[in-house]
Amino acid sequence: MANQEVDELFEVKNSFYIGNYQHCINEAQKLQVSSPELRQERDIFLYRALIGQRKFGVVQSEIKASAPPPLQALKLLAQYFQFPSNRVTIVNELESQLSGNVDLSNTALLIVAATIYCHEDNYEGALRALSQSDALECRALMVQTYLKMERLDAARKELKTLQEKDDDATLTQMAQAWTHIATGGEKLQDAYYIYQELLDKNVSTALLLNGQAICFLGQAKYEEAESALQEALDKDPSNPDTLINLMVLAHHTGKPQEVANRYLVQLRDEHKGHKFVEDITTKEEDFNRLVKQYAA
């Protein structure tokens, strides 16, 4: 049954993992699967890809109250991203779902919980949710969470577990690249090779190109970084990671301030609830408060 699942949903899952959301949606919509369980998993990836495209309203309108719990979790995630003012209520609802007897086969709920907790800077909560499952994606997200916490030692340990489970999996390869980037130095080149191999085996996506661009930025290869980011911009003109990395590149290459400002304005316009935007807004408010304080 496990092999059959991999065979039937491999293209859908792999497209999602590398950020090729439209292909994931197209494949999911035309795929006729052999069981109700696989149909539900197919739908999970379909709606996750729509969330990846920031089509939050579509997800909420299509997932009805009668939909199974994994899809309800995705509806909650769409609400979280679309309505920043309701986030306290949404986090409370999530915590009430996690406080009871959690169905550990509902990996969608665990992934949604980790995603929301990471956005809320509650990394311990994210790890607590993810550690309840041995699913490859939960373990890969644990690597990512440890890296956000600057716990490189724990990330490497979790990566080793991933490699023992499935060294060739796309998620394992990506987790290895993230860890190499966090390590820095010579490991940046190793991370670049992983992204290049994923690009060669699949198609270029904004997610993979941004990974390469970060490797180039870390090595001060600014021309190569610009080339990768321009290609990523062509793939998805409003991808937040691309806009942030272009701001970083503009700073490193001494471009006029209005270049970086243009990307920041676009980021604020299209991604009001993005962590980067929220952090910048907080810092600006703190700075303005200090200016007033000293002026007084």
> Do 120 and 91 meet the contact criterion of CB atoms below 8 Å apart?
yes
Percent of the chain with pLDDT over 70: 97
Question: Computed from CA positions of residues 247, 250, 251, 252, in that sequence, does the dihedral angle turn out positive or negative?
Answer: positive
Q: Is the pLDDT of residue 217 over 70?
A: yes
In the predicted model, what is the mean pLDDT of residues 74-99?
93
Provide CB contacts within 8 A for 215, sequence distance 6+.
181, 188, 189, 191, 192, 195
Long-range contacts formed by 25-32: CB under 8 A, 24+ apart: 25/49, 25/50, 25/53
Tokens of 154: 């724990």
Q: Is the pLDDT of residue 296 over 90?
A: no
In the predicted model, what is the mean pLDDT of residues 167-172?
96
User: How many distinct helices (H) and strands (E) make up the chain?
Assistant: 17, 0
Q: Where are the alpha helices (DSSP H) in 107-183?
A: 107-119, 123-130, 136-148, 152-166, 170-183
Tell me which residue has tokens 């999530």. Answer: 94
Residue 75 has a pLDDT of 97
Top-confidence residue, 197 or 296: 197
Residue 2 has a pLDDT of 41
Q: Is the pLDDT of residue 5 over 60?
A: no
Q: Is the pLDDT of residue 144 over 90?
A: yes
**Lowest mean pLDDT: which of 168-172, 176-180, 224-228, 257-261?**
257-261
In the predicted model, what is the mean pLDDT of residues 26-36?
92
Residue 4 has a pLDDT of 39
Tokens of 220: 């001060």
Fold of 184-296: 1.25.40
Provide CB contacts within 8 A for 253, sequence distance 6+.
222, 226
Domain boundaries, the chain: 142-183, 184-296
Residue 125 has a pLDDT of 96
Confidence band of 110 (pLDDT split at 50, 70, 90): very high
Tokens of 113: 């919980």
Tokens of 198: 């994923």
Q: Nearest 5°: phi and psi at 185?
A: 60, -135
Tell me which residue has tokens 């870390």. Answer: 218
Tell me which residue has tokens 């709920």. Answer: 109
In the predicted model, what is the mean pLDDT of residues 117-136?
95
In the predicted model, what is the mean pLDDT of residues 243-268?
93
In the predicted model, what is the mean pLDDT of residues 108-124?
96
In the predicted model, what is the mean pLDDT of residues 190-217?
96
In the predicted model, what is the mean pLDDT of residues 258-276?
89
pTM: 0.91
Percent of the chain with pLDDT over 90: 83
